[in-house]
C-alpha cells in the first residue's frame, strides 16, 4: 500500500507496486516548489555574498570594526601604531598623525621625535584626539628627554600618556667641575685640567749665577741649589730630569714644601762654574 513522507506528503509507493509516472512527476514539482521556498527565505546580503561586496566563498572585512590598542581594525587593511612628530622644540603640544587612532584607555602609540623638546610639561595629541600630558613614572617629562631622532613608545592610561621603558634621570653622577664633585672629585678635576698633553719640557738652561747657598733640609748634603718654575706642578708630582752633561754633582727633585709650589729644585754638591743644561723634564701628577 502506498504511503506519504512525513513533512511534505510526497507519495511513497509500496515496494511491490508498479511505478506511476504521473505521480512521480507531480511529486517532483512539489519538491521544486519546496526548495524554492527555502532559497527565498535565506537573505542574499550575508557576509561575503556578492550583494555585500565580496566573494561568496569568504569574508573580506568585519561588519563592525574593532579597536586594537587604540587603532580601528576591520580586516580590510593593516593597522599601525607609529607616527612622527616634528613639533617645534619650544611648543608644548606635540602633534602626531596615526590613521585610525582613537583615544581609549590602553591605546598605544610609537613616536619618532625629529626635534628635541625644550618646553616644560609637554603633551601629546595623536590624530586630533586631544592633547594629553606626557609622563614618566607619574611625573611630567623634563625638557630634553624627548630627544631628536629617538623613538619612544607611550600608552594612554585614561588620563595621560605614560612613557614605556626607562629614561636616564641620573642626577647623582654628573660630570665634575673644579668646584663640585661628580664622576670624580673636584680636587681631581683641578689636577686633570692642569695636565698638559705630554708633560715634557725640553732644553732648559739653568745659569751658574742662579745657584744659591742652600738652607733647606738638604743643606747638609747639597750646599747649593737653583729653582726652576713649572706651571701646574705640585708637591705630589713625579719628576724625571735628564742633564747634559750628566754629573754626579747634580741632583733634582720635585719641591716638597708649600713655599715652592710650582717649582722644581736642582741641588749641587759644589757651586757650578758653568751653566747647567737640562735636556728634558718629564713630570706627571700622582694624586
**HEC assignment per residue over 170-229:** CCCCCCCCCCCCCCCCHHHHHHHHHCCCCCEEEEEEECHHHCEECCCCCCCCCCEEEEEE
pTM of the shown model:
0.45
The pLDDT assigned to 269 comes to 86
Question: What digits encode the pLDDT tens for the residues 35-49?
Answer: 888 888 776 665 555
Region of residue 262 (left: phi > 0; alpha: psi -120 to 50; beta: else)? left
Q: What is the 3-state secondary structure (H, E, C) of 28-73?
A: HHHHHHHHHHHHHHCCCCCCCCHHHCCCCCCCCCCCCCEEECCEEE
Asked whether the CA dihedral 269, 275, 280, 283 is positive or negative, the reply is positive
Cα–Cα dist 113/141, whole Å: 14
User: What would the grid cell of residue 106 be?
Assistant: 590602553
* Longest CA pairwise span in the chain (Å): 157
The cell for 273 is: 762654574
User: Helix %, strand %, coil % for the chain, to 5?
Assistant: 15, 30, 55
pLDDT < 50 regions, the chain: 56, 254, 256-258
**pLDDT computed for residue 56 by the predictor:** 47
* Model pLDDT, residue 169: 66
- Give me the pLDDT at residue 198, please: 57
Amino acid at each position: 500500500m502506498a504511503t506519504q513522507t512525513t513533512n511534505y506528503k510526497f507519495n511513497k509507493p509500496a515496494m511491490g507496486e508498479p511505478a506511476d509516472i504521473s505521480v512521480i512527476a507531480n511529486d517532483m514539482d512539489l519538491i521544486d516548489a519546496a526548495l524554492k521556498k527555502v532559497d527565498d527565505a535565506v537573505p542574499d546580503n550575508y557576509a561575503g555574498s556578492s550583494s555585500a561586496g565580496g566573494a561568496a566563498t569568504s569574508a573580506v572585512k568585519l561588519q563592525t570594526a574593532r579597536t586594537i590598542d587604540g587603532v580601528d581594525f576591520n580586516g580590510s587593511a593593516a593597522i599601525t601604531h607609529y607616527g612622527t612628530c616634528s613639533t617645534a622644540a619650544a611648543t608644548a603640544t606635540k602633534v602626531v598623525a596615526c590613521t585610525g587612532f582613537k583615544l581609549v584607555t590602553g591605546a598605544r602609540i610609537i613616536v619618532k621625535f625629529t626635534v628635541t623638546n625644550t618646553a616644560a610639561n609637554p603633551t601629546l595629541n595623536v590624530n586630533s584626539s586631544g592633547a594629553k600630558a606626557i609622563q614618566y613614572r607619574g611625573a611630567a617629562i623634563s625638557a630634553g628627554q624627548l630627544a631628536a631622532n629617538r623613538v619612544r613608545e607611550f600608552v594612554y592610561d585614561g588620563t595621560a600618556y605614560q612613557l614605556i621603558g626607562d629614561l636616564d634621570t641620573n642626577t647623582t653622577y654628573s660630570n665634575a667641575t673644579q668646584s663640585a664633585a661628580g664622576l670624580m672629585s673636584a680636587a681631581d678635576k683641578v689636577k686633570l685640567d692642569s695636565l698638559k698633553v705630554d708633560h715634557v719640557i725640553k732644553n732648559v738652561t739653568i745659569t751658574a749665577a742662579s745657584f744659591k747657598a742652600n738652607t733647606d733640609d738638604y743643606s747638609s748634603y747639597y750646599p747649593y741649589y737653583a729653582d726652576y718654575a713649572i706651571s701646574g706642578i705640585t708637591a705630589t708630582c713625579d719628576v724625571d730630569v735628564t742633564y747634559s752633561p750628566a754629573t754626579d754633582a747634580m741632583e733634582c727633585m720635585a719641591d716638597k714644601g708649600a713655599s715652592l709650589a710650582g717649582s722644581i729644585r736642582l741641588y749641587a754638591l759644589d757651586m757650578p762654574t758653568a751653566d747647567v743644561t737640562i735636556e728634558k723634564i718629564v713630570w706627571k701628577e700622582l694624586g
